[in-house]
Amino acid sequence: MLLSVEELTVEAGGRRPILREVSLTVGRGEIVGLVGESGSGKSTIARSVLRLLPQRARVSGRVLVEGDDVLAMGPEALRGLRSSTVSMIYQDPRSSLNPVRRIGDFLTERMVHTLGRPKAQARATALELLAAVGMRDPEARLRQYPHELSGGMLQRVVVAAALAAGPSLLLADEATSALDVTTQAETLALLRRVQAERGLGMLFITHDLHLAAAFCDRVHVLYAGTIVESRPAKELFADPRHPYTQGLLACTPDLGDPRPIRPVPGRPPSLDDAFDGCPFAPRCPHATGRCESARPEPVTAGGGAAACHLLEP
């Protein structure tokens, strides 16, 4: 297995953990989605794979990349993981680039200083990568600054940078949420093509359940640092079992459905909110006294599982 997260728990001083006993896998050539509201812990999972967590964070469990435990790695092994095995694509491409440095400097810096490639070879690789991600006139783009490129072009640049070291795993953290609909579709098509051509595994993070269902092979729904439902994408979209998953779908606009949008009541919990039972119970229309006092265990649901007392025999 390319990526295996086992019982990962991350605490940072709040009354409840940021992540609580999260387990998931990503195989080679597979796209696995993480869906949930802001603050659910999606980005923390991705950062845990690269061990980019605050020093004060208390972490337990295991994060295995190609069989090696990231949480137990020494400095040299961790540097190798970050520079060649795993790459991350962030939400806002402009925040990933230095505004006073040219695109060519951004693309070649890691290849020269981390991977030890000659400058001429690094430049040639950068041109090949820009062409591979569909950038027109790559030679001219290398000489430009970030402010001279559109959002869609910058997204192609950061995808090219993520591929520069030939990683086996891509972490896409809300990589399309800052883009307009047309550019988003182009970027998704680009990611799908690159992933298929290179046989990469991908952890795709988004708040859009419809997008995850269309783009991913499997989807994990995250709430308050806990995975509440894990299913094959098409199955999850067609027949959601957990009330939170149902709520996410109900509050998404659908041009073919005349019914009004039904928002999930209440607000997402903060780290100061502690739970003895199901974390979704305060917002769930089907909650009972047991939901508030006992944490549900995952119950088999179709091709996956959902953690809800309503599904228990």
Residue entry with tokens 């659908």: 254
Determine, yes or no, domain membership for 220.
yes
**Residue 125, in any domain of the structure:** no
**Taking the model in full, what pTM does it have?**
0.90
C-alpha 47/C-alpha 91 separation (Å) is 13
Q: What angle do CA 136, 140, 144 make, to 5 degrees?
A: 110
pLDDT at res. 164:
85
| pLDDT for 306 beyond 90 | yes
Asked whether residue 247 is assigned to any structural domain, the reply reads yes
Model confidence at 178, pLDDT cuts 50, 70, 90, reads low
Beta carbons within 10 angstroms of residue 161's beta carbon: 25
Does the residue 251 lie in any domain? yes
Number of domains in the chain: 1
Q: Can you tell me the distance from the alpha carbon of 287 to that of 281, in angstroms, rounded to the nearest whole number?
A: 5
Domain that holds residue 255: 3-96+169-182+200-306
Confidence grade of residue 141 (pLDDT, cut at 50, 70, 90): very high
Read off the pLDDT band of 35 (50, 70, 90).
very high
The helix-helix angle for 119-132 and 151-163 (nearest 10°) equals: 130
pLDDT tens-digit map of 123-133: 999 999 898 88
In a domain, 195, yes or no: no
Question: What contacts 166, CB < 8 A, 6 or more positions away?
Answer: 84, 198
Q: Interhelix angle for 103-113 vs 119-132, to 10°?
A: 120
Contact 306, 299 (CB under 8 A): yes
Q: How far is CA 244 from each of CA 152, 215, 224, 275, 306, rounded to the nearest angstrom?
A: 32, 20, 11, 16, 10
* CATH number for 66: 3.40.50.300
Place of tokens 């964070």: 57
Report the distance separating Cα 167 and Cα 312, nearest Å: 41
- Does residue 151 form part of some domain? no
pLDDT digits (tens, 9 = 90+) for 250-296: 887 776 767 777 888 888 888 888 888 999 999 999 999 899 999 99
Residue 161 backbone dihedrals phi, psi, to 5 degrees = -65, -40
Query: Is 149 among the domain residues?
Result: no
The answer to whether residue 148 is domain-embedded is: no
What's the mean pLDDT in 139-145? 94
The C-alpha R_g of the chain, in whole angstroms, comes to 21
CB 200: neighbour CB atoms within 10 A? 23
